[in-house]
């Protein structure tokens, strides 16, 4: 249902998280206050379960907990995008996604994104995709001529989403190994100047979205500092609550964003 939304606004949105707790934090923001029923569930052909909020005035939004790390994120996202492009909906025609959002908690770089702050990615960067060089340097995959190491959200969308969320708007790094030392944190901060956060799925989600020609966003709330590993200090419940709040604030922006 499009309601009063502008022509060209996405009629279907896919949100991809790593774990079910993050998925449920997003769903909490999407469910109208007067709807207490559970989301509809749909199994994807390659595994994974889409949670769809009951129809409201906005676009149909499906939320998928695809697993931890860029590979699981890419596989889950690609599966959902392919299923939507091929499978007929209730009216017999396929209803492809118009926007993909990677969402979850993440590590914040000290001095840029403190715990519980929201971060909206200006660039989604594969921080460890490339080659280590003798002497300690790093050649990103693009410099090696082997593809791209970053994706950019649509220029007209991510600044507005960041403003709505009161978020830091800066690059978000995707890593396969969460940072656990001060040395690695300093290395990443120096290599990717201005980076606000690191997490483990954004680039995988973005690669799959790019393969389908669908725009992508990444939205994180900070559960911990990027630095020496101290799992006991992670503020996961508060970061999940902050994720629900941030999602509620960005929803009117991304749902009404028009590509026309
Ligand atoms: O244990 C729980 O209850 C729980 C609930 C929600 C999420 C988790 C996670 O462990 C999420 C893992 C997810 O979080 C991202 N993340 C968070 N902090 C960092 C970090 O410092 N470096 C890299 N990634 C981080 C990441 O995307 C993980 O997939 C547990």
Burial class (CB in 10 A: 0-12, 13-18, 19+), 232: exposed
Ligand 1 centroid–CA 163 distance in Å is 24
Q: Is 49 helix (H, G, I), strand (E, B) or coil?
A: strand
Find out whether 44 and 66 touch, Cβ atoms under 8 Å: no
Among protein residues, the one with the nearest Cα to ligand 1's atom 5 is 21
Tell me if the pTM is above 0.90: yes
pLDDT in tens, the chain (260 residues): 445 677 788 889 999 999 999 999 999 998 765 556 678 898 998 889 999 886 567 788 999 999 999 999 999 999 999 999 998 766 677 889 999 999 999 999 999 999 999 999 999 999 999 999 999 899 999 999 999 999 999 998 999 999 999 999 999 999 999 999 999 999 999 999 999 999 999 999 999 999 999 999 999 999 999 999 999 999 999 999 999 999 999 998 988 888 76
In angstroms, the first-to-last Cα distance of the chain is 18
Structure tokens at 93: 């025609």
> Within 10 A of 16 (CB to CB), how many other CB atoms are there?
34
**What is the ipTM score, two decimals?**
0.95
> 20, 27, 73, 104: which to mutate for ligand 1, most atoms within 8 A of CB?
104
For 51, the enclosing helix (H) or strand (E) is strand 49-52
Ligand 1 centroid–CA 105 distance in Å is 6
Q: How far apart are CA 80 and CA 74, in angstroms?
A: 10
DSSP state of 101: E
What lines the ligand 1 site, CB under 6 Å?
18-19, 21-22, 68, 104-107, 175, 178-179, 198-201, 223-224, 226, 236
């Amino acid at each position: 249902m499009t309601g009063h939304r502008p022509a060209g606004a996405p009629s279907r949105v896919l949100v991809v998280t790593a774990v079910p707790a993050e998925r449920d934090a997003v769903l909490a923001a999407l469910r109208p206050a007067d709807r207490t029923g559970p989301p509809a569930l749909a199994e994807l052909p390659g595994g994974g379960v889409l949670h769809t909020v009951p129809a409201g005035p906005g676009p149909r939004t499906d939320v998928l907990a695809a697993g931890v790390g860029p590979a699981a994120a890419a596989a889950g996202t690609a599966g959902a995008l392919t299923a939507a492009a091929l499978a007929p909906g209730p009216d017999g025609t396929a209803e492809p996604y118009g926007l993909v959002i990677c969402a979850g908690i993440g590590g914040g770089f000290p001095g840029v994104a403190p715990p519980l702050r929201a971060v909206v990615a200006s660039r989604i960067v594969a921080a460890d995709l490339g080659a280590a060089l003798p002497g300690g340097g790093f050649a990103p995959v693009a410099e090696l001529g082997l593809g791209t190491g970053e994706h950019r959200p649509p220029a007209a969308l991510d600044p507005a989403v960041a403003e709505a969320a009161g978020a830091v708007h800066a690059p978000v790094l995707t890593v396969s190994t969460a940072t656990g030392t001060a040395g690695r944190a300093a290395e990443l901060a120096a290599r990717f100047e201005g980076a606000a956060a690191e997490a483990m799925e954004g680039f995988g989600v973005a690669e799959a979205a790019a393969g389908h020609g669908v725009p992508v966003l990444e939205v994180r709330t900070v559960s911990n500092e990027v630095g020496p590993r101290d799992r006991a200090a992670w503020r996961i419940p508060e970061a999940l609550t902050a994720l629900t709040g941030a999602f509620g604030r960005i929803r009117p922006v991304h749902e009404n964003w028009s590509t026309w």
